[in-house]
Every structure is written in C-alpha cells, then in structure tokens.
Structure 1
Amino acid sequence: MAGVFDPRWQKASCSGSSNACVEMRTVNGLVELRESDDPYVIVQAAPAAFAGLLGVIKVGGLDHVGATA
C-alpha cells in the first residue's frame, strides 16, 4: 500500500485552492478517503459501497445529519 503522502490522492474539485478538503484514491480495489488536514485517518470502502454513499449524498439523504433543531 502506498504512503499517506502518495501523489495519487485526488482533491475534491469543489474545494478549489483550499487545503481543507476531502481527497480520494483507489488502492488494491478499494476506495480510500481522507481529510487533507488529517492525512493519517483514512477510510476505506468497496467501490459499490462508495457508489451507494455518493448516491445517498446526491439526493440529500444525509442533509439532516448533524443538523440542530
């Protein structure tokens, strides 16, 4: 597995020039995600699970998470 500072990490396009962003890459058939300001915490997911998560996010299925009344 490549190191946490591997250049294959891709920054989210919506983060622009900001260094506080989500980055992703694929390693050994898994999708890996991390926050650029905490590069040692890496979340891994199977591609199908990641695609499912993106689908839920795109339709606003997690908009209520963290919301306060």
Structure 2
Amino acid sequence: MRTEINWQKSSLSGDGPQCVEVAEHNGEILMRESDSPDAVVTTSPEKLRAFILGVKAGEFDHFTN
C-alpha cells in the first residue's frame, strides 16, 4: 500500500516550476525541488531546525563569497 504524501511549497514561490517543496511523513521531513520530484532529501525535524537556525545566524555566509 502506498501512502499519499502532501507536498507543500511556499506561497512566495508562485506558480513557477522551480521551487522547494516540503512534506512531513512518518515523523521525518522530506524535501525536493519541484522540477526534480524523484530526488528527495530526508531529515529529522530537529536537524532541519538546527540548519535553519544556522542559516539565520550566518554560519554558512562564507559559502557565498
């Protein structure tokens, strides 16, 4: 039996073909790019939260130089 996954994208993405979609499934966070829907990254809510906090704190700013 296959479970339906409810993918969501930001309302700021509009209707364009290139956006990140996110879903919760069995306690994990799934992420994919809408134009490559078969490539799915899986993480835990805790790890995603730590990553987002790191981005907000500037921990990855050195990658943009």
Q: Same fold (TM over 0.5)?
A: yes
Give the 5 Å matches for 1:15-30.
Answer: 15-30=13-28
Query: 1:54: Cα distance to partner?
Result: 1.1
Q: Per-residue CA shift, 1:13-40, capped at 9, x if unaligned?
A: 3322222000000000000000001000
Aligned pair count? Answer: 64
Say what the alpha-carbon RMSD is for the aligned residues: 1.9
Provide the secondary structure at the position in 2 that maps to 1:64.
Answer: helix
Give the 5 Å matches for 1:1-69.
Answer: 2=3, 6=5, 8-65=6-63, 67=64
Q: Give the TM-score normalised by the residue count of structure 1.
A: 0.75
